[in-house]
Amino acid sequence: MKRKIITINEEKCNGCGLCVSACEEGAIGLVNGKAKLLRDDYCDGLGNCLPACPTDAISFEEREAAAFDEAAVKRNMERQGKKMPPQGGCPGMQSKRIEHRAAAPESEAPGSAPSQLSQWPIQLKLVPPNAPYFENANLLVAADCTAFAYGNFHKNFIKGKITLIGCPKLDEVDYADKLTDILQHNNIKSITVVRMSVPCCGGIVAAVTDALHRSGKMIPWSIVTVDTDGTILD
């Protein structure tokens, strides 16, 4: 079958072994000092290993591969005297959609604002590019400070979108790589970039621009700039 599965760039791999520890299914091992995908059917395709890699050597590819075999993983874990990991791995990295029950206006407390977040995780470093919620999504790519600076961020930006956040100054990763994977492997309907007015936020705009060019897709996109006092700049 053809499916999304991890691939490891041996030239980038430094042999640290962090991905081996992150992969609870035992799909990755160190061979001759380099990380290697040992068996396709051990890889669940959720990408828990991606954020663990300090050199961005791991990414997704779509190719012919054996389907994930939970029974085979369980047998392998038992041979090693380990317990089968809980479904989805680390709860903080488990990909899921969030459904919100509509509340009647009179039932809401004065001044309350319901969450509009529709998926988890939201950090660009953690999100798996093959998560099902990306298909036919309107994407919000936001600098993480914007939600603190702009009071109505949930209502005006998050609502109806799949949200990705990050800080190009603090995160030592190339967001363009992850964004390219997302754009290439999913049908993204639109992209809204929300950045702060400070110069370092230009990095998140550059990453989206680079990813659009790499993907080769014509996707409508826009940029919104939030000033440090919370106002929207033209």
Residue 21 — very low, low, confident or very high, per pLDDT cuts 50/70/90? confident
CA 133 – CA 36 distance, rounded (Å): 28
Q: What is the pLDDT of residue 114?
A: 87
pLDDT in tens, 46-91: 777 887 888 889 998 889 999 888 888 888 888 877 666 554 445 5
What is the C-alpha separation between 123 and 28, in angstroms, rounded?
A: 24
Quickly state the pLDDT bin for 93 (edges 50, 70, 90). low
The burial of 126, by beta-carbon neighbours within 10 Å (0-12 exposed, 13-18 middle, 19 or more buried), is given as: buried
**pLDDT tens-place string over residues 199-217:** 888 899 999 999 999 999 9
The whole-angstrom separation of Cα 11 and Cα 82 is: 31
Task: Please name the amino acid found at residue 11.
Answer: E
Instruction: Work out the number of other CB atoms within 10 angstroms of the CB of residue 233.
Output: 10
Question: What does the pLDDT look like over 181-199, one tens digit per residue?
Answer: 999 989 999 999 999 999 8
- pLDDT tens-digit map of 119-170: 988 999 888 888 889 999 999 999 999 999 999 999 999 999 999 999 988 8
Task: Give the largest CA-CA distance in the chain.
Answer: 64
In this prediction, residue 100 carries a pLDDT of: 62
**pLDDT (tens digit, 9 = 90+) per residue, 1-20?**
888 899 999 999 999 988 98
Which uninterrupted H or E stretch holds 19? helix 18-22
Distance CA 116, CA 229 (A): 23
Whether the pLDDT of residue 111 is over 70: the answer is no
Task: Give the C-alpha separation, 35 to 14, whole Å.
Answer: 8
The DSSP 8-state label assigned to residue 15 in this structure reads -
Is the pLDDT reported for residue 180 higher than 50? yes
